[in-house]
Amino acid sequence: MTVELISVGTELLMGNIVNTNAQYLSRKCAELGFSLYFQITVGDNEGRLCEVIETALHRSDIIILTGGLGPTQDDITKESVAKVLKRNLVMDEESKRLIDDYFKFRFQGEKNTIVTENNWKQALKIEDSIVIKNDNGTAPGSIVEINNKSIIILPGPPAEMKPMFEQHIFPYLKKKQNKTFVSKMIKICGIGESRAETDILDLIEKQSNPTIAPYAKNGEVHFRITAAADCEAEAHQLLSPVVNELYQRFGENIYTSIEEETLEEVVAHLLIDKKYTLTTAESCTGGMLTGRIVNIPGVSDILKEGFITYSNEAKMKYLGVKKETLDQYGAVSSQTAQEMALGAAEAAEADAALAITGIAGPDGGTKDKPVGLVYIACNVKGHVTVKECHFKGNRQKVRDQSVIYALDLLRRSLK
């Protein structure tokens, strides 16, 4: 079956917000084994919205619309679907009651609070549709079935859309599949996308079931392996030899096969398992590395402190980097990175230390030390490994890649 996504909202077209809904729903449709050929973003214009709905109905089995369910005049998704289907909008009394309860709870204790008339617009439903309760907002979703096709309408805010999809829409769509689809994600660091794909080109060319799909990330490559079978156990049996083959080929470059697990989580868990403490010393990344590590719950057990030493004076004052080292080799050098990692571990009394120093650009590069040159040092129990990196891209991309490579260097050193 084919699915089409329609994201509604002028703010999406203008770039005022990032369309994370489409990314999330694409992943979920792949997980369900549906084919997704089209994603459309359309502004708050009834004529254009009706046009894309009509087109989607001709070429797709399932249409998922997000956004445009609010109380204002530019929220026109339900109205446009009803117009295309030539159905009326009628009041859903249960939705109206829930909206009334929401406002009573939200503004309890406040005097003269009146629910404005336009809020009841959200309680309207398309005739003969299935209303989906919204436990996190006032705009309910809905499902309209017509001629063996389904139109699914969901609220735009991700905090409302995702729970509604997980709880109600995913089980609904799963019933439409006569096969079970199981996926496994293999995440790789330290190898570029072109090399990673080349290394498994033979597997990709002869694939049928399971299938292998590569995804390029910033500094990472992910492979999604998906198997279709009559039951989950059979799908896992099909996946197993392919996953094993990827481990044979990529070895320690694979940092996880758990889709939800991030690189920083893997590193944090390694430190926690070994009961090692960590400190960081950052120059060009300015705290980004420490920020990634702090994302992990329980990291307070292992993270001692982080040093942001952007200037040479700070490197000498807080990390004990020698003036002679800076004068002879410069702030961006393997020698300085090594002394940063050693000094940070000593200053924080930590078992491990990560240090980053580099030229993120756009200025500051020379022929000998171009923009994108970054040195990363990893100190584990006094054993220091320094990696020289040459990154391409703008300032943000250089800094992002520096953080990823630093985390990966620590992962490898701990293993």
CB neighbour burial string for 191-223, b if at least 16 within 10 angstroms, e if fewer: beeeebbeebeebeeeeeebebebeeeebbbbb
CA angle 381, 386, 392 (to 5 degrees): 140
CA distance 265 to 254: 14
Architecture in CATH of 180-256: 2-Layer Sandwich (3.30)
Pairing verdict, β 180-189 and 254-256: antiparallel
**Superfamily of 2-174 according to CATH:** MoaB/Mog-like domain (3.40.980.10)
- The one-letter amino acid code at 286 reads G
SS3 at position 244: helix
What is the per-residue pLDDT for 105? 80
CA distances from 42 to 10, 14, 17, 160 (A): 7, 11, 14, 20
Q: Give the closest residue to 388 by CA, choosing from 380, 379, 378, 397.
A: 378
Give the alpha-carbon dihedral of 274, 279, 285, 289, to 10 degrees.
40
Within 281-394, where are the H helices? 288-294, 312-319, 323-329, 334-348
Kindly report each contact of residues 114-123 with a partner whose C-beta sits within 8 Å and lies 24 or more positions away, as own/partner. 116/71, 118/71, 118/72, 118/73, 119/71, 120/91, 120/96, 121/71, 121/75, 122/69, 122/70, 122/71, 122/95, 123/91, 123/92, 123/93, 123/95, 123/96, 123/99
Q: Give the closest residue to 186 by CA, choosing from 252, 240, 246.
A: 246
Total residue length of the chain: 415
Q: Give the closest residue to 152 by CA, choosing from 29, 234, 236.
A: 29
CA distance 406 to 279: 12
CA distance 170 to 155: 15
Architecture in CATH of 263-414: Alpha-Beta Complex (3.90)
* Cβ–Cβ < 8 Å for 376, 405: yes
What is the per-residue pLDDT for 362? 95
Question: What is the mean pLDDT for each group of 10 consecutive residues in the chain (415 residues)?
Answer: 97 95 94 93 97 98 97 95 98 93 77 76 97 95 97 97 97 92 94 89 92 88 94 95 97 95 96 97 98 94 97 98 98 98 98 98 95 98 97 95 97 96
Hey, where are the domains in the chain? 2-174, 180-256, 263-414
